[in-house]
Amino acid sequence: MHEVSTIGVIGAGQMGGGIAQVAASTGFETIVFDARSDALEACRTSHASRLARLVEKEKMTSDDMTRALGRLRYVESLDALAGVDIAIEAIVEDASIKKDVFSTLASMLTGNQILASNTSSISITELATSVGDAAGRFIGMHFFNPVPIMKLVEVINGLATDATTTARTIALAEAMGKTPLPANDRAGFVSNRVLMPMINEAFYAWM
């Protein structure tokens, strides 16, 4: 099973930045892509300040912080992700935009690289239609906010996801210090399917 050493994160927002922070802090070379230079600079600043706070709280050594920051790269060109072992998308929850990104990634990453989406609600099988023959390497990897604190990661198979991709993604989540939860590609996956009835009951009680 091919080991992941370099992670690409698409999206420098709150979720993407959190995923990148965890990846770099757990020993992975990490490339953060965003088309907006201001978003990348904000992400870079956030990483430095968040890791510095961990050092202040004695949850990380200054040497570990320096190493983690050294593993992070920030890029405005998607082409810079050509050498990653997994690309984790963490952009706006819009299926058409995600599909456009994954179509480009699939044309770049033609080996055994994993294509993963952090979507919390969009069908993995539907998103995988954008990657053609790479659908077996497509999977959901749903982190929870705030990523550096929340341990759970839903690992969601699409109809075409192969067993090797699932095993590699679970192993990666564990290597990142997370607790992987395999889930089927159903509306809401696991967490939201549990949460929504609770919200409905609370609403009925309030009414």
| Rounded CA separation 43/171 (Å) | 26
What's the pLDDT tens digit per position in 71-129?
Answer: 999 999 999 999 999 999 999 999 999 999 999 999 999 999 999 999 999 999 999 99
| Rounded CA separation 18/137 (Å) | 23
The predicted model scores a pTM of: 0.90
The count of other CB atoms within 10 Å of the CB of residue 130 is 21
Q: Which domain holds residue 118?
A: 6-206
Q: Tell me which residues are annotated as active site.
A: 142
* Residue linked to tokens 């954008």: 130
- Give me the CATH number covering residue 185: 3.40.50.720
Tell whether 110 is covered by a domain.
Answer: yes
The count of other CB atoms within 10 Å of the CB of residue 193 is 13
Tell whether 21 is covered by a domain.
Answer: yes
**Residue bearing the bigger pLDDT, 199 or 172:** 172
Tell whether 1 is covered by a domain.
Answer: no
What three-state secondary structure class fits 17?
Answer: helix
| Rounded CA separation 10/103 (Å) | 13
pLDDT score for 3: 87
Q: How many domains does the chain have?
A: 1
Tell whether 172 is covered by a domain.
Answer: yes
